[in-house]
Amino acid sequence: MPTVHPHPRRPRWRSLAVLALLLTPLLWPLQQLAERYYSGVLVEQNRQTLDLYVANLLGTLRRYEVLPPILGDLPALRLALQQPTERTLLENANRLLDQVRGQTGADVIYLMDPNGKTLAASNWEQADSFVDRNFAFRPYFREAIAGRPGRFFGLGTTSGKRGYYFAAAVRDGERNLGALVVKVDLDHTETLWGNTPEQLLVTDANGVVILTSNSQWRFTASRPLDAAERAAIAANLPYPTQAPPPIKLDAQNWIRQDRELKETGWTVSILAPRSLLDRPVRTALVAGGGMLLLLMLLLGLLMQRRRHYLERIALDSQARQQLEQRVLERTLDLERLNSRLKQEVLEREQAQQELVQAQDELVQASKLSALGTMSASISHELNQPLAAIRSYADNAGVLLDHQRGDEARANLKLISKLTERMASIIAHLRAFARRDRHAPESVALQPAIDDALALLAKRRQAMQVELTRDLPDATLWVQAGETRLRQVLGNLLANALDALSEVPQPRRLWLSAELTAEGVDLHLRDNGPGFSQEALQRAREPFFTTKTSAQGLGLGLAICDTLMRALGGELLFANHPDGGAQLTLRLRAADQGIKTQSPEDFVV
């Protein structure tokens, strides 16, 4: 029988140390992989940051580039250029430019004659006013007078502030009256960068730093300047110095990414300190060394665990017996659970039978509720035609008393049309109750709007509601039902007038339409109180209303929403940013000129 040693031999720690020395060179490829990975992460993060800053910078510039041509067409400014000796015209121009500057957020806006002399400026009352100063030497003025958009970055010779200049010529036919210039303050774009290890660098076409998060780099040259560039700097004076010093930047200590802006000729750069890369790489190496040390310790532990092998075999045998006992106990538990599940199935079947009986009772109750809803719907939909018939009938009586037979006959014709519409509405409601489905037809949108407006014209005039229509001249054809579309438009216009009755004058109503990829969007907007949060959430519910019981039943918007969905369209509710409610009818487009008689237009 072999001799059993009471204790295993101690691990050979010298062998483990030699193995550790042999594995240490594996840290070099780990360093390479870590540098490649963290470099990619840092480059991606800097790219995203650079994209955000470039988007913000371009957004700031593009907001103002269309301003000079627009302002150049203002009559007050053109008169000031045509009569530069009239002090009243120049004062009006100064005030107008100051007002526009306050509204747009520009730094300075000023008006120049064809010789480069500033006639009017938004800072006319300030100590550093541009008025009577000549900026003909600036490139933006020369480009504008030549008929090109003027663009220039530079330091203000009067204010000493950095800015980007947009200029455009003001013309009278082929004659140049002068130029209008907008200066944009770019100082705030540096403050957007924040206090981060990464540094911002924006260089112009000359390679001179014009925007930076490091004030020591401002107006320094990132590369040597040639003679032409130095001459241009001396002529245009874009910087506080005509000889920008070279930038003090050690390229080996920074990881740089550039983005070229073709619109301005600038280059936006982000510089990340190399320490941002070295720190995680060192951490990875330390972690790798720790893992190597841990591996050595694990090997030592494995060598020590040999003595526990026999003890583990005994423990495994004991654990197997305990497992068999637990399996037996679990089997008994499953049998008891199975019995309980059978009992629950029987109870579930009994509950199902009770549910079927309750559903039968609910169907009967739903039928009674549907009768009430249909009655309320008919009352709501016929109120408007009945009110119009009453008004036309009263007018016809008055016209007959005054011997105006033709006008009275016209009113009677309108009453006849309204009765036909009431019959169509009743037939439509009956078809709606049966959930009939009709083929879509092509309906002209503008005539339907005109009919709905005519029905409410007297009420709108009595309320002194100003109507603004922004509809295309060409007829818009949509897929809808003739009566259904007029019914929806009438309800929405009536609701808008109800909302406007709650506000004082002026009362306004806007109608506009736009073509979309899916069809036509018709917008109805008022300057009333708008929707509350509860109304926006529950506007489609029947019988929900913010009016009193005498003013409405709360079915108008619910019926309109149902009709729009039946037509394959959509009704959207929102509040306009300038105040008031805005409803959008989203309709499908239809082929022009194709119109068939819909079954809903017949009286059944």
pLDDT tens digit string along 112-151?
999 999 999 999 999 889 999 999 999 999 999 998 999 9
**Could you tell me which residues are beta bridge partners of residue 468?**
510
- 478-505 residue pLDDT tens: 888 877 888 888 888 888 888 888 888 9
Same CATH topology for 192-228+238-275 and 438-601: the answer is: no
Beta strands in 189-306 (DSSP E): 199-203, 209-212, 254-261, 266-273
The confidence band for 591, taking pLDDT boundaries of 50, 70 and 90, is confident
- 247-267 residue pLDDT tens: 888 878 888 888 888 888 889
- 443-458 residue pLDDT tens: 888 888 988 888 788 8
**CA–CA dist 272, 120 (Å, integer):** 45
**CA–CA dist 163, 226 (Å, integer):** 24
The confidence band for 549, taking pLDDT boundaries of 50, 70 and 90, is very low
- pLDDT (mean) for 316-326: 87
Q: Is the dihedral of CA 577, 579, 585, 590 positive or negative?
A: negative
pLDDT at position 6 is 46
* pLDDT at 429 > cutoff 70: no
More confident residue, 355 or 261: 261
Decide: 268 and 50 in contact? Cβ < 8 Å: yes
The CATH T-level fold of domain 192-228+238-275 is Beta-Lactamase (3.30.450)
The CATH T-level fold of domain 438-601 is Heat Shock Protein 90 (3.30.565)
* pLDDT at 290 > cutoff 90: no
pLDDT at position 563 is 81
The pairs formed by 375-380 with CB atoms below 8 angstroms and a separation of 24 or more are 376/543, 376/553, 376/555, 377/429, 377/555, 377/559, 378/426, 378/429, 379/553, 380/552, 380/553, 380/555, 380/556, 380/559
Q: Please provide the average confidence, as pLDDT, over all residues in the chain.
A: 81
* pLDDT at 1 > cutoff 50: no
The confidence band for 109, taking pLDDT boundaries of 50, 70 and 90, is very high
pLDDT at position 435 is 44
Half-sphere CA count of 371, side-chain side, radius 13 A: 5
Whether the link from the prior residue into 84 is cis, omega within 30° of 0, is no
User: Quick one: CATH architecture of 66-185?
Assistant: 2-Layer Sandwich (3.30)
Extents of the domains making up the chain? 66-185, 192-228+238-275, 438-601
- 364-403 residue pLDDT tens: 554 444 445 456 556 666 777 788 888 888 888 888 888 8
Decide: 99 and 120 in contact? Cβ < 8 Å: no
Q: What percent of the chain has pLDDT over 70?
A: 84
Secondary structure (3-state) at 170: strand
List the Cα angle 584/587/593 in 5-degree steps: 135
Rg of the chain over Cα atoms, rounded to whole angstroms, equals 41
* pLDDT at 237 > cutoff 50: yes
**CA–CA dist 70, 79 (Å, integer):** 15
Decide: 77 and 120 in contact? Cβ < 8 Å: yes
Secondary structure (3-state) at 480: strand
